[in-house]
Amino acid sequence: MHAVDSKKAKPFLPFARPTIDETMVSAVADTLRSLWITSGPQVLAFEKALSEYHGGRPVRVFTSATAALEVALLVAGIGPGDEVIMPAQTFFSCANAIAHTGARPVFVDVDPITRNMDLAATEAAINPRTRALMPTHFAGLPMDMDALYELAGDTDLRVIEDAALAIGSQWQGRRIGSFGDIASFSFHPNKNMTTIEGGALVFADEAEAQLAERFRFHGIARNPDGTRDVTVLGGKYNLPDVNARLGLLQLARLDEFTARRQKLAARYFEQLQTDPPCTLPARGDAGHSWNFFAPLLPLDQLTLTRKQVMDALQAEGIGTGISYEAVHLTTQYRKLGYREGDFPHAEHIACTTLTLPLYPALEEADVDRVCQTLRAVLHAAKR
Protein backbone atom coordinates (compact mmCIF):
# COMPACT_ATOMS: atom_id res chain seq x y z
CA MET A 1 0.00 0.00 0.00
CA HIS A 2 1.29 3.43 -0.99
CA ALA A 3 -0.82 6.05 0.76
CA VAL A 4 1.42 8.95 -0.27
CA ASP A 5 2.62 9.73 -3.78
CA SER A 6 6.30 10.64 -3.95
CA LYS A 7 7.23 12.73 -6.99
CA LYS A 8 10.92 12.47 -6.17
CA ALA A 9 12.99 10.39 -3.84
CA LYS A 10 13.30 11.79 -0.35
CA PRO A 11 16.09 10.99 2.09
CA PHE A 12 15.45 7.97 4.27
CA LEU A 13 14.69 8.83 7.89
CA PRO A 14 15.76 6.08 10.31
CA PHE A 15 14.01 5.98 13.67
CA ALA A 16 17.36 6.59 15.41
CA ARG A 17 20.78 7.87 14.38
CA PRO A 18 23.86 8.89 16.38
CA THR A 19 25.40 12.35 16.00
CA ILE A 20 29.08 11.92 15.15
CA ASP A 21 31.04 14.86 13.74
CA GLU A 22 34.54 15.14 12.31
CA THR A 23 35.98 16.29 15.64
CA MET A 24 34.82 13.02 17.17
CA VAL A 25 36.18 10.99 14.26
CA SER A 26 39.56 12.72 14.55
CA ALA A 27 39.68 12.19 18.32
CA VAL A 28 39.00 8.48 17.94
CA ALA A 29 41.65 8.28 15.22
CA ASP A 30 44.15 10.00 17.52
CA THR A 31 43.36 7.46 20.22
CA LEU A 32 44.03 4.64 17.77
CA ARG A 33 47.32 6.28 16.79
CA SER A 34 48.33 6.46 20.44
CA LEU A 35 48.34 2.63 20.48
CA TRP A 36 46.69 2.68 23.91
CA ILE A 37 43.32 1.46 22.75
CA THR A 38 42.04 -0.75 25.56
CA SER A 39 41.07 0.60 29.01
CA GLY A 40 43.47 3.37 29.98
CA PRO A 41 43.65 7.16 30.40
CA GLN A 42 40.59 7.87 28.27
CA VAL A 43 38.44 5.54 30.39
CA LEU A 44 39.64 7.29 33.55
CA ALA A 45 38.90 10.69 32.00
CA PHE A 46 35.46 9.55 30.85
CA GLU A 47 34.58 8.19 34.28
CA LYS A 48 35.74 11.46 35.86
CA ALA A 49 33.61 13.50 33.45
CA LEU A 50 30.55 11.30 34.05
CA SER A 51 31.10 11.62 37.79
CA GLU A 52 31.22 15.41 37.55
CA TYR A 53 28.08 15.40 35.41
CA HIS A 54 26.31 13.42 38.14
CA GLY A 55 27.35 15.55 41.10
CA GLY A 56 30.64 13.85 41.94
CA ARG A 57 29.27 10.36 42.50
CA PRO A 58 31.50 7.37 41.74
CA VAL A 59 31.17 6.02 38.19
CA ARG A 60 32.44 2.92 36.41
CA VAL A 61 32.00 2.25 32.68
CA PHE A 62 31.40 -1.06 30.90
CA THR A 63 31.17 -2.63 27.47
CA SER A 64 27.37 -2.35 27.53
CA ALA A 65 24.48 -1.32 29.74
CA THR A 66 23.54 -5.00 29.93
CA ALA A 67 26.93 -5.79 31.46
CA ALA A 68 26.46 -2.83 33.78
CA LEU A 69 23.09 -4.17 34.98
CA GLU A 70 24.54 -7.60 35.64
CA VAL A 71 27.40 -6.11 37.65
CA ALA A 72 25.01 -3.85 39.58
CA LEU A 73 23.01 -6.89 40.62
CA LEU A 74 26.17 -8.71 41.72
CA VAL A 75 27.36 -5.69 43.69
CA ALA A 76 23.96 -5.59 45.41
CA GLY A 77 24.39 -9.25 46.37
CA ILE A 78 21.54 -10.53 44.21
CA GLY A 79 21.68 -14.25 43.43
CA PRO A 80 19.85 -17.58 43.39
CA GLY A 81 16.63 -17.60 45.42
CA ASP A 82 16.22 -13.83 45.21
CA GLU A 83 13.56 -11.90 43.31
CA VAL A 84 13.85 -8.55 41.55
CA ILE A 85 10.71 -6.65 40.55
CA MET A 86 10.74 -4.95 37.14
CA PRO A 87 8.21 -3.64 34.59
CA ALA A 88 6.79 -5.94 31.93
CA GLN A 89 7.13 -3.10 29.39
CA THR A 90 10.87 -2.54 28.86
CA PHE A 91 13.80 -4.00 26.94
CA PHE A 92 14.70 -7.69 27.38
CA SER A 93 18.15 -6.97 28.82
CA CYS A 94 16.72 -6.12 32.24
CA ALA A 95 15.11 -9.52 32.72
CA ASN A 96 18.08 -11.32 31.22
CA ALA A 97 20.51 -9.58 33.59
CA ILE A 98 18.42 -10.67 36.58
CA ALA A 99 18.13 -14.24 35.33
CA HIS A 100 21.89 -14.48 34.68
CA THR A 101 22.55 -13.95 38.39
CA GLY A 102 20.29 -16.91 39.21
CA ALA A 103 17.61 -14.60 40.61
CA ARG A 104 14.03 -14.48 39.35
CA PRO A 105 12.61 -11.46 37.49
CA VAL A 106 9.14 -10.64 38.79
CA PHE A 107 7.13 -8.57 36.33
CA VAL A 108 4.53 -5.94 37.15
CA ASP A 109 2.29 -3.82 34.97
CA VAL A 110 3.02 -0.24 33.96
CA ASP A 111 1.09 3.01 34.12
CA PRO A 112 -0.82 3.33 30.82
CA ILE A 113 0.12 7.02 30.42
CA THR A 114 3.75 7.28 31.58
CA ARG A 115 4.52 3.62 30.71
CA ASN A 116 6.70 3.53 33.82
CA MET A 117 6.47 0.77 36.44
CA ASP A 118 3.23 0.87 38.43
CA LEU A 119 4.34 1.39 42.03
CA ALA A 120 1.07 0.16 43.55
CA ALA A 121 1.49 -3.10 41.63
CA THR A 122 5.13 -3.15 42.68
CA GLU A 123 4.26 -2.83 46.36
CA ALA A 124 1.73 -5.66 46.02
CA ALA A 125 4.38 -7.92 44.45
CA ILE A 126 6.91 -7.52 47.28
CA ASN A 127 7.44 -10.67 49.35
CA PRO A 128 10.18 -12.06 51.62
CA ARG A 129 12.26 -13.13 48.59
CA THR A 130 12.27 -9.66 47.05
CA ARG A 131 15.70 -8.06 47.21
CA ALA A 132 15.58 -5.21 44.71
CA LEU A 133 13.48 -3.03 42.42
CA MET A 134 14.60 -2.39 38.83
CA PRO A 135 12.45 0.39 37.32
CA THR A 136 12.93 1.68 33.78
CA HIS A 137 12.74 5.42 33.07
CA PHE A 138 10.66 4.81 29.97
CA ALA A 139 11.81 6.72 26.86
CA GLY A 140 13.71 9.05 29.21
CA LEU A 141 10.69 10.04 31.33
CA PRO A 142 11.77 9.70 34.97
CA MET A 143 9.85 7.59 37.43
CA ASP A 144 8.26 9.35 40.38
CA MET A 145 11.53 9.21 42.27
CA ASP A 146 10.09 10.36 45.58
CA ALA A 147 7.50 7.60 45.60
CA LEU A 148 10.00 5.02 44.32
CA TYR A 149 12.54 5.64 47.04
CA GLU A 150 9.90 5.96 49.73
CA LEU A 151 8.71 2.47 48.80
CA ALA A 152 12.27 1.12 48.68
CA GLY A 153 13.08 2.65 52.05
CA ASP A 154 9.92 1.34 53.67
CA THR A 155 10.68 -2.19 52.45
CA ASP A 156 14.49 -2.12 52.82
CA LEU A 157 15.07 -2.91 49.14
CA ARG A 158 17.89 -1.97 46.80
CA VAL A 159 17.03 0.09 43.72
CA ILE A 160 18.86 -0.46 40.45
CA GLU A 161 17.54 2.12 38.02
CA ASP A 162 17.46 1.10 34.38
CA ALA A 163 18.29 4.57 33.08
CA ALA A 164 19.46 3.26 29.70
CA LEU A 165 17.16 5.77 27.99
CA ALA A 166 17.55 8.57 30.50
CA ILE A 167 21.01 10.08 30.58
CA GLY A 168 20.37 13.82 30.75
CA SER A 169 16.91 13.36 32.26
CA GLN A 170 16.02 15.18 35.47
CA TRP A 171 13.63 14.69 38.36
CA GLN A 172 12.62 18.01 39.93
CA GLY A 173 15.81 19.67 38.73
CA ARG A 174 18.18 16.86 39.75
CA ARG A 175 19.83 14.67 37.15
CA ILE A 176 18.92 11.00 37.13
CA GLY A 177 21.95 9.24 38.56
CA SER A 178 22.98 12.17 40.76
CA PHE A 179 20.96 10.77 43.67
CA GLY A 180 19.39 7.48 44.73
CA ASP A 181 20.98 4.03 44.86
CA ILE A 182 22.52 2.65 41.63
CA ALA A 183 21.74 3.96 38.12
CA SER A 184 22.68 2.20 34.89
CA PHE A 185 23.12 4.11 31.62
CA SER A 186 23.46 2.92 28.01
CA PHE A 187 25.69 4.40 25.30
CA HIS A 188 24.37 2.29 22.42
CA PRO A 189 24.10 4.26 19.12
CA ASN A 190 20.30 4.55 19.59
CA LYS A 191 20.71 6.33 22.94
CA ASN A 192 21.05 10.04 23.71
CA MET A 193 24.85 9.80 23.59
CA THR A 194 27.04 6.99 22.32
CA THR A 195 30.37 5.27 22.79
CA ILE A 196 29.51 2.91 19.88
CA GLU A 197 28.68 0.27 22.50
CA GLY A 198 28.99 0.86 26.21
CA GLY A 199 27.32 1.59 29.51
CA ALA A 200 27.94 3.00 32.96
CA LEU A 201 26.95 2.61 36.59
CA VAL A 202 26.65 5.54 38.96
CA PHE A 203 26.93 4.59 42.63
CA ALA A 204 26.13 6.16 45.97
CA ASP A 205 29.07 4.35 47.57
CA GLU A 206 32.75 4.31 46.53
CA ALA A 207 33.32 0.85 48.00
CA GLU A 208 30.58 -0.55 45.74
CA ALA A 209 32.14 1.19 42.74
CA GLN A 210 35.46 -0.48 43.53
CA LEU A 211 33.72 -3.84 43.84
CA ALA A 212 32.10 -3.25 40.44
CA GLU A 213 35.55 -2.54 39.03
CA ARG A 214 36.67 -6.00 40.13
CA PHE A 215 33.55 -7.67 38.75
CA ARG A 216 34.14 -6.05 35.35
CA PHE A 217 37.72 -7.36 35.04
CA HIS A 218 38.09 -10.99 36.11
CA GLY A 219 37.59 -10.28 39.82
CA ILE A 220 41.19 -9.06 40.05
CA ALA A 221 42.49 -7.07 43.01
CA ARG A 222 46.06 -5.79 43.34
CA ASN A 223 48.22 -6.86 46.27
CA PRO A 224 50.63 -4.38 47.90
CA ASP A 225 53.60 -6.13 46.25
CA GLY A 226 52.10 -5.68 42.77
CA THR A 227 50.88 -9.26 42.37
CA ARG A 228 47.26 -10.00 41.64
CA ASP A 229 44.56 -11.86 43.47
CA VAL A 230 41.04 -12.90 42.40
CA THR A 231 38.59 -11.92 45.11
CA VAL A 232 35.24 -12.32 43.31
CA LEU A 233 33.99 -14.28 40.30
CA GLY A 234 34.37 -11.54 37.72
CA GLY A 235 33.90 -11.23 33.99
CA LYS A 236 35.40 -9.18 31.17
CA TYR A 237 33.36 -6.01 30.70
CA ASN A 238 35.98 -3.23 30.55
CA LEU A 239 35.38 -0.40 28.05
CA PRO A 240 38.20 0.34 25.56
CA ASP A 241 39.83 3.78 25.42
CA VAL A 242 38.67 4.20 21.82
CA ASN A 243 35.05 4.09 22.97
CA ALA A 244 35.72 6.30 25.99
CA ARG A 245 37.30 9.02 23.82
CA LEU A 246 34.15 9.23 21.76
CA GLY A 247 32.11 9.23 24.98
CA LEU A 248 33.99 12.26 26.32
CA LEU A 249 33.07 14.34 23.28
CA GLN A 250 29.50 13.03 23.24
CA LEU A 251 29.05 13.92 26.91
CA ALA A 252 30.27 17.45 26.23
CA ARG A 253 27.35 17.86 23.83
CA LEU A 254 24.74 15.87 25.75
CA ASP A 255 22.78 18.88 27.02
CA GLU A 256 22.68 20.24 23.46
CA PHE A 257 21.44 16.87 22.17
CA THR A 258 18.80 16.74 24.91
CA ALA A 259 17.51 20.23 24.15
CA ARG A 260 17.21 19.32 20.49
CA ARG A 261 15.30 16.12 21.28
CA GLN A 262 12.93 18.09 23.50
CA LYS A 263 12.28 20.57 20.70
CA LEU A 264 11.57 17.80 18.19
CA ALA A 265 9.25 16.01 20.63
CA ALA A 266 7.34 19.27 21.06
CA ARG A 267 7.00 19.43 17.28
CA TYR A 268 5.52 15.93 17.23
CA PHE A 269 2.93 16.98 19.80
CA GLU A 270 2.01 19.96 17.61
CA GLN A 271 1.83 18.08 14.31
CA LEU A 272 0.83 14.47 15.03
CA GLN A 273 -2.94 14.66 14.68
CA THR A 274 -4.40 11.65 12.91
CA ASP A 275 -7.85 10.29 12.07
CA PRO A 276 -8.37 7.88 13.73
CA PRO A 277 -6.26 9.39 16.53
CA CYS A 278 -3.08 7.86 17.91
CA THR A 279 -2.46 7.82 21.65
CA LEU A 280 0.50 10.11 22.24
CA PRO A 281 3.12 9.46 24.93
CA ALA A 282 3.15 11.36 28.21
CA ARG A 283 4.59 14.85 27.76
CA GLY A 284 6.48 14.89 31.02
CA ASP A 285 8.19 18.17 31.88
CA ALA A 286 11.53 19.84 31.24
CA GLY A 287 13.28 16.82 32.78
CA HIS A 288 12.25 14.40 29.99
CA SER A 289 15.22 13.67 27.70
CA TRP A 290 13.16 12.03 24.92
CA ASN A 291 15.20 9.07 23.81
CA PHE A 292 12.34 8.13 21.51
CA PHE A 293 8.80 9.17 20.54
CA ALA A 294 6.36 6.25 20.39
CA PRO A 295 2.63 6.82 19.92
CA LEU A 296 0.16 3.94 20.16
CA LEU A 297 -1.63 3.09 16.92
CA PRO A 298 -5.46 2.86 16.86
CA LEU A 299 -5.31 -0.63 15.35
CA ASP A 300 -8.86 -1.48 16.38
CA GLN A 301 -10.01 1.26 13.99
CA LEU A 302 -7.75 0.31 11.07
CA THR A 303 -7.83 -2.25 8.27
CA LEU A 304 -4.02 -2.55 8.55
CA THR A 305 -1.82 -4.39 11.01
CA ARG A 306 1.07 -2.61 12.70
CA LYS A 307 3.50 -4.39 10.37
CA GLN A 308 1.53 -3.11 7.37
CA VAL A 309 1.63 0.43 8.76
CA MET A 310 5.39 0.11 9.26
CA ASP A 311 5.80 -1.23 5.71
CA ALA A 312 3.78 1.66 4.29
CA LEU A 313 6.00 4.16 6.10
CA GLN A 314 9.13 2.29 5.00
CA ALA A 315 7.95 2.56 1.40
CA GLU A 316 7.86 6.34 1.88
CA GLY A 317 11.37 6.44 3.29
CA ILE A 318 10.48 6.52 6.99
CA GLY A 319 12.00 3.99 9.35
CA THR A 320 10.18 2.89 12.48
CA GLY A 321 10.71 0.56 15.40
CA ILE A 322 8.88 -1.17 18.25
CA SER A 323 9.56 0.05 21.79
CA TYR A 324 8.91 -2.47 23.28
CA GLU A 325 7.47 -5.98 23.18
CA ALA A 326 6.07 -7.32 26.46
CA VAL A 327 8.94 -9.13 28.17
CA HIS A 328 6.76 -11.59 30.08
CA LEU A 329 5.28 -12.95 26.83
CA THR A 330 8.61 -13.92 25.30
CA THR A 331 9.33 -17.64 25.04
CA GLN A 332 12.00 -17.41 27.73
CA TYR A 333 9.80 -15.79 30.37
CA ARG A 334 6.63 -17.72 29.64
CA LYS A 335 8.64 -20.54 31.23
CA LEU A 336 8.09 -18.74 34.54
CA GLY A 337 4.33 -19.12 34.10
CA TYR A 338 3.41 -15.73 32.63
CA ARG A 339 0.57 -15.58 30.10
CA GLU A 340 -1.55 -13.12 28.08
CA GLY A 341 -3.77 -11.03 30.28
CA ASP A 342 -1.35 -10.86 33.22
CA PHE A 343 -0.41 -7.21 32.59
CA PRO A 344 -3.01 -5.54 30.36
CA HIS A 345 -1.38 -2.10 30.09
CA ALA A 346 2.04 -3.48 29.14
CA GLU A 347 0.43 -5.84 26.64
CA HIS A 348 -1.65 -3.10 25.01
CA ILE A 349 1.41 -0.89 24.66
CA ALA A 350 3.42 -3.80 23.25
CA CYS A 351 0.78 -4.57 20.62
CA THR A 352 0.19 -1.01 19.43
CA THR A 353 3.39 0.98 19.97
CA LEU A 354 5.28 2.49 17.02
CA THR A 355 8.63 4.26 17.43
CA LEU A 356 9.00 7.24 15.09
CA PRO A 357 12.21 8.98 13.98
CA LEU A 358 13.79 11.16 16.68
CA TYR A 359 17.44 12.18 16.82
CA PRO A 360 19.30 15.52 17.00
CA ALA A 361 20.06 15.79 13.27
CA LEU A 362 16.36 15.48 12.40
CA GLU A 363 14.83 18.69 11.06
CA GLU A 364 11.44 20.11 11.94
CA ALA A 365 10.46 19.57 8.31
CA ASP A 366 11.36 15.90 8.73
CA VAL A 367 9.01 15.63 11.72
CA ASP A 368 6.29 17.28 9.64
CA ARG A 369 6.91 14.77 6.86
CA VAL A 370 6.63 11.85 9.29
CA CYS A 371 3.39 13.20 10.73
CA GLN A 372 1.86 13.92 7.32
CA THR A 373 2.78 10.48 6.00
CA LEU A 374 1.47 8.65 9.04
CA ARG A 375 -1.70 10.74 8.91
CA ALA A 376 -2.26 9.74 5.28
CA VAL A 377 -1.55 6.04 5.92
CA LEU A 378 -3.94 5.86 8.87
CA HIS A 379 -6.69 7.86 7.16
CA ALA A 380 -6.57 5.57 4.10
CA ALA A 381 -6.81 2.52 6.38
CA LYS A 382 -9.67 3.83 8.54
CA ARG A 383 -12.49 1.33 8.99
Q: At what angle do helices 306-315 and 364-380 cross, to 10 degrees?
A: 130
Bridge partners for 182 per DSSP? 160
Question: Residue 60: enclosing H or E segment and its boundaries?
Answer: strand 59-62
- β-strands 182-186, 199-202: how paired? antiparallel
Answer yes or no: are the C-beta atoms of 206 and 58 closer than 8 Å.
yes
383 exposed, middle or buried (CB, 10 Å; 0-12, 13-18, 19+)?
exposed
Fold held by 255-320+355-380? Aspartate Aminotransferase, domain 1 (3.90.1150)
- Cis-peptide, bond into residue 135, ω within 30° of zero: no
| Residue 162 Rama label (left phi>0; alpha psi -120 to 50; beta) | beta
d(CA 134, CA 117): 9
DSSP H helical ranges for 12-144? 22-34, 41-53, 65-75, 92-100, 119-125
Question: What is the rounded end-to-end Cα distance, in angstroms, of the chain?
Answer: 15
Class of domain 22-252 (CATH, top level): alpha beta
- What is the structure's pLDDT at 8? 67
DSSP assigned state of 138: G
Sign, CA dihedral 252-257-260-265, equals: negative
Sign, CA dihedral 92-346-367-185, equals: negative
d(CA 60, CA 238): 9
Show pLDDT as tens, one digit a residue, over the chain (383 residues): 444 554 567 999 999 999 999 999 999 999 999 999 999 999 999 999 999 999 999 999 999 999 999 999 999 999 999 999 999 999 999 999 999 999 999 999 999 999 999 999 999 999 999 999 999 999 999 999 999 999 999 999 999 999 999 999 999 999 999 999 999 999 999 999 999 999 999 999 999 999 999 999 999 999 999 999 999 999 999 999 999 999 999 999 999 999 999 999 999 999 999 999 999 999 999 999 999 999 999 999 999 999 999 999 999 999 999 999 999 999 999 999 999 999 999 999 999 999 999 999 999 999 999 999 999 999 999 99
**pTM for the structure as a whole:** 0.96
d(CA 364, CA 274): 18
- What is the structure's pLDDT at 9? 79
CA distances from 262 to 30, 41, 145, 188, 366 (A): 33, 33, 21, 20, 15
DSSP sequence for 166-203: -TT-EETTEETTSSSSEEEEE--TTSSS--SS-EEEE-
Per domain, the residue ranges of the chain are 22-252, 255-320+355-380
d(CA 349, CA 353): 5
- β-strands 199-202, 59-62: how paired? antiparallel
d(CA 383, CA 380): 9
d(CA 146, CA 144): 6
Give the residue numbers annotated as catalytic, written as ranges: 191
